[in-house]
Amino acid sequence: FTYFTGKPRWAGRKPLTLTYAISPEHTIKYVATADVAATIRRAFDNWARVIPVRFEEATNYESADVKLGFYGGDHGDGEPFDGVLGILGHAFSPESGRLHLDAAEQWAVDLGKESSEVAVDLESVATHEIGHVLGLGHSAVKEAVMYPSLSPRTKKVELKVDDIEGVQALYGSNPNFRLNQTVQSETSSAIALRDAIKKS
């Protein structure tokens, strides 16, 4: 895992509460608003499980700590989007709270119901970008959520040890979370993969 220069993080009393909101203007039309909201909720929950930070959906977009929206092309922050695939999204280091997704993508909230070859899983990208919002940079671990690339039609939402250790170094651990369960899970996966390779 890596951090932004200076290791910025959200400050505040523990347990820290951050509010978030999805832009009512900069959104996508082909996915129901409730489905987008539920998917973004799950993305925040992926991080809330491992750190003592609560994420609450704000009713007022302007006053939310984290502002999420779908933008196309040059949208005024100096980092224009590039159309289908290429750049999927970007987010800003703490305590900016801006999280932008490329409106040109074929966003999917359920890959099983989306037939497009270039469909991009919304929860996966949102989970990655929330990692940036919290202060993480990119990881060299291919399986980690914070690895910079994501192939179309791929779901990667489960935080790996690398992601967890990185974010917990910034915010501490959620008292209800046990890291060794994740370590065991990753070890089991690695053993299963090794066995499958041997077998083949």
Q: Which residues bind another protein (CB under 8 A)?
A: 4-6, 8, 77-79, 81-96, 98, 117, 120, 125, 128-129, 132, 137-138, 140-142, 147-152
Distance between CA 200 and CA 169 in Å, rounded? 40
- Whether cis (ω within 30° of 0) applies to the bond prior to 148 is no
- For another protein, the closer of residues 142 and 178 by Cβ is 142
Query: Are 170 and 135 a contacting pair, CB within 8 Å?
Result: yes
Q: How far is the CB of 155 from another protein (least distance, A)?
A: 14
- When computed from its CA atoms, the radius of gyration of the chain, rounded to whole angstroms, is 17
Structure tokens at 189: 């996966």
Q: What is the CB-side half-sphere exposure of residue 100 using CA atoms within 13 A?
A: 21
- For another protein, the closer of residues 22 and 130 by Cβ is 130
Query: Are 117 and 153 a contacting pair, CB within 8 Å?
Result: yes
Q: How far is the CB of 97 from another protein (least distance, A)?
A: 10
Catalytic positions, written as ranges: 129
- For another protein, the closer of residues 108 and 120 by Cβ is 120
